Homo-oligomer: A and B are copies of this chain.
């Protein structure tokens, strides 16, 4: 049993409880939170202005692209997509063990205990399986050519099988599946893969309505995507309507990524599906697709997580920096209220998205905990989330399943 004492304990429970001069007792699980708790063997006071809170969770990354620094084209979605297609192989070849390690290390330093990894190829499995952080490994399916459906599905099943083998032996590793997007996966393939997820109760991720181009393409078969498809795939018709696409995720545990251009009907559907949204503000900005309207998302009672996306569309995987960017970027939202929501977005909401038993300090939750110090004391606790987001870049301590990782 370990007892951490801190000046501020931010529980991230339903009541947004923040305790001053409080303690958390845990082994693999969190046992007790409060003041003046009974003595245990190992007691650590974290110092003046210290904060203890649940470790962060980065719901959506693509670590296979971690070698990108300045290669991909930013500023335009389709320009970016073309550059991804052009440089994909180069980037994949350049990202080997050291590159994955560094990417995971950057997340870890920023207090991330778990992340959702979209695996395009399965080649990342040999690195990801050694992650010191919890992983939900989303085997991705992509492909629209009808003739290739069987081949793609077989390949998918092989990757899925391999990842289940890892899951058996590694308690930090969970399997998920990913449907790349409504414009890039053949509906038959979608159905096959989603039904596996439904059967085996696997979490799903799918990119949805990331760009205006996607909107015009799916609605009307027009716009920049038309040129794109004609160039790459000689396939100039959208294969599914957005609402039909969403419909396919009935009775699953799904997170839709981006949703910047989702309309009211679609948000209503996402809400009915009890699905959540992953919001990647820096990625959206670099591809110049605008910014998700978080108030609208809230009005539809949809929970959102904030995630970094991959280095294919970001300059950092540091999740504290990502939520600081979000805090700055949503200039129409009240900083104090947004800050509270943003801490939720990378803890309790993110845990729900990835189907993990962490993200809050509550009895029975996994002991996934971070600690760090603020530069000074915060008198008005209403401002604590904001000050945490402004001043925290890296954590001093992290526990995962009660084990000291930092």
Contact = CB atoms under 8 A, between A and B. Distances in A.
A285 interface: yes
A168 interface: no
Chain A binding surface, main DSSP class:
loop
Nearest to A335: B75
Interface string A74-102: 11000000000000000000000000000
B375 A70 contact: yes
B286 A335 contact: yes
A334 B75 contact: yes
Contacts of A48: none
B70 A335 contact: no
A70 B281 contact: no
Interface residues of A, number: 35
User: How many identical chains are in the complex?
Assistant: 2
Interface string A364-380: 00000000001111111
Nearest to A387: B70
Nearest to A331: B291
27 contacts: A69-B375, A69-B391, A70-B375, A70-B377, A70-B383, A70-B391, A71-B376, A73-B380, A73-B383, A74-B336, A75-B334, A75-B335, A75-B383, A281-B328, A282-B328, A285-B327, A285-B328, A285-B331, A286-B335, A286-B390, A288-B334, A288-B335, A290-B332, A291-B331, A325-B325, A328-B328, A328-B329
